[in-house]
Amino acid sequence: MSNCIFCRIANGEISTELLYEDDKVVAFKDLNPQAPIHILIIPKEHSDSVKEMNDEVSIGRLFTAAKKVAEKLDTEHYRLVINTGIGAGQSVFHTHLHLLGGRLMSWPPG
């Protein structure tokens, strides 16, 4: 049994409603949403952060999946974020892409 929470979601050990799944990626709602739409898109294969992802195809597939999720949710304006490292706000050390939408967002972020 993995002690990585996102590995356990990706492999079905923790039952979670998936909004999207393919051979490399799953997507599900964030437990602590920061916007009306807040989805996490993760690779099934574990890496601590995007810094450890070296496979360009897998990195690309995260973004392709995010676009599909946005289309599925019919959201035209959205933000994609990858927090990398504690100083950038990363708290779960399994690479994930945040898809945020459904409200106006300011720039620069806080």
Active site residues: 96
Which residues sit opposite 97 in a β-bridge? Answer: 41
| Residue at 102: amino acid letter | G
Q: For ligand DGP, which is the closer residue by CB, 37 or 40?
A: 40
| Residue 102 to residues 9, 15, 94, Cα–Cα distance (Å) | 25, 26, 25
Q: Does 85 bind ligand DGP (CB under 6 A)?
A: no
Q: Of 2, 11, 12, 31, which one interacts with ligand DGP (CB under 6 A)?
A: 31
Residue 48 CB contacts under 8 Å (≥ 6 apart), including other chains? 93, 94, 95
Q: Does 53 bind ligand DGP (CB under 6 A)?
A: no
Question: Cβ of residue 39: shortest distance to ligand DGP, in angstroms?
Answer: 9
Q: Of 5, 7, 50, 59, which one interacts with ligand DGP (CB under 6 A)?
A: 5
What is the three-class DSSP state of 72?
Answer: helix
Question: Which stretches of the chain bind ligand DGP, using CB under 6 A?
Answer: 5, 28-32, 40, 83, 89-92
